[in-house]
């Protein structure tokens, strides 16, 4: 099975550097252009999955031109709790300077980190793993999955054991299911 994981298109909050989490902010005009501009990089596939948030749903529809797409709740972005709606520069002021280090650290010790009233990275990782298990039950040859930036970073850590500095809007990563539970390294599609 060949799988293409895609981050949603730009939103006004991405542009303003505000953290979204579970707040349902739609993609903006630039996000639509980003999706249209990268559509040619994706093949026709058997199934398309998206997060239940509208920014992922609209990106999936634009990228694939399909209406017969499936949402999966495990693809939802990390619940950032009290950090949702907060500007990136305000995060250390509100939650402490160390929180950004904990945020970008995927070591075992840092997986319990989460913002107040939000999910931990470990909770998100369980959803990532649950979705990967779900994909293995599908009787298809190819899939597109549209999700979110932090979700994608967690996926990249799970499969590649490394994370790029930034996962841009409409970034596309490709992998293959080699055998049950074993995935090929995620490679960015340009």
Q: In this predicted model, what pLDDT tens digit does every residue of 1-56 receive, in sequence order? A: 999 999 999 999 999 999 999 999 999 999 999 999 999 999 999 999 999 999 99
Structure-block tokens of residue 93: 């002021």
Each residue's pLDDT tens digit, 93-147: 999 988 888 888 898 889 999 999 999 999 999 999 999 999 999 999 999 999 9
Give, for 172, the enclosing helix (H) or strand (E): strand 172-179
Which pairing describes strands 47-50 and 70-71: parallel, antiparallel, or unpaired?
Answer: parallel
User: 54-64 and 29-38 helices cross at what angle (nearest 10)?
Assistant: 40
pLDDT tens by residue, 131-188: 999 999 999 999 999 999 999 999 999 999 998 888 999 999 999 999 999 999 999 9
User: Using CA atoms, how far apart are residues 25 and 58, in angstroms rounded to an integer?
Assistant: 11
CA–CA gap between residue 49 and residue 163 (Å, rounded): 23
DSSP state of 40: G
Residue 36, pLDDT score: 98
* Domain residue extents for the chain: 2-188
Fold designation for 2-188: Rossmann fold (3.40.50)
> Two tokens at 127?
């959803």
Q: Would you state the pLDDT for residue 100?
A: 83
Strand partners for 87: 18
């Amino acid at each position: 099975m060949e799988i293409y994981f895609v981050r949603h298109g730009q939103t006004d909050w991405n542009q303003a550097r505000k953290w979204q989490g579970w707040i349902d902010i739609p993609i903006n005009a630039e996000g639509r252009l980003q999706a249209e501009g990268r559509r040619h990089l994706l093949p026709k596939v058997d199934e398309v999955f998206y997060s239940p948030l509208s920014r992922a749903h609209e990106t999936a529809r634009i990228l694939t031109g399909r209406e017969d797409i499936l949402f999966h709740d495990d693809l939802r972005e990390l619940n950032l709790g009290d950090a949702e709606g907060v500007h990136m520069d305000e995060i250390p002021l509100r939650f402490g300077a160390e929180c950004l280090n904990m945020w970008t650290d995927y070591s075992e010790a840092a997986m319990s980190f989460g913002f107040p009233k939000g999910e931990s990275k470990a909770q998100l990782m369980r959803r990532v793993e649950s979705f990967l298990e779900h994909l293995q039950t599908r009787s298809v040859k190819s899939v597109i999955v549209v999700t979110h930036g932090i979700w994608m970073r967690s996926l990249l850590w799970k499969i590649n054991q490394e994370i790029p500095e930034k996962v841009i809007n409409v970034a596309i990563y490709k992998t293959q299911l080699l055998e049950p539970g074993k995935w090929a390294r995620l490679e960015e599609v340009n």
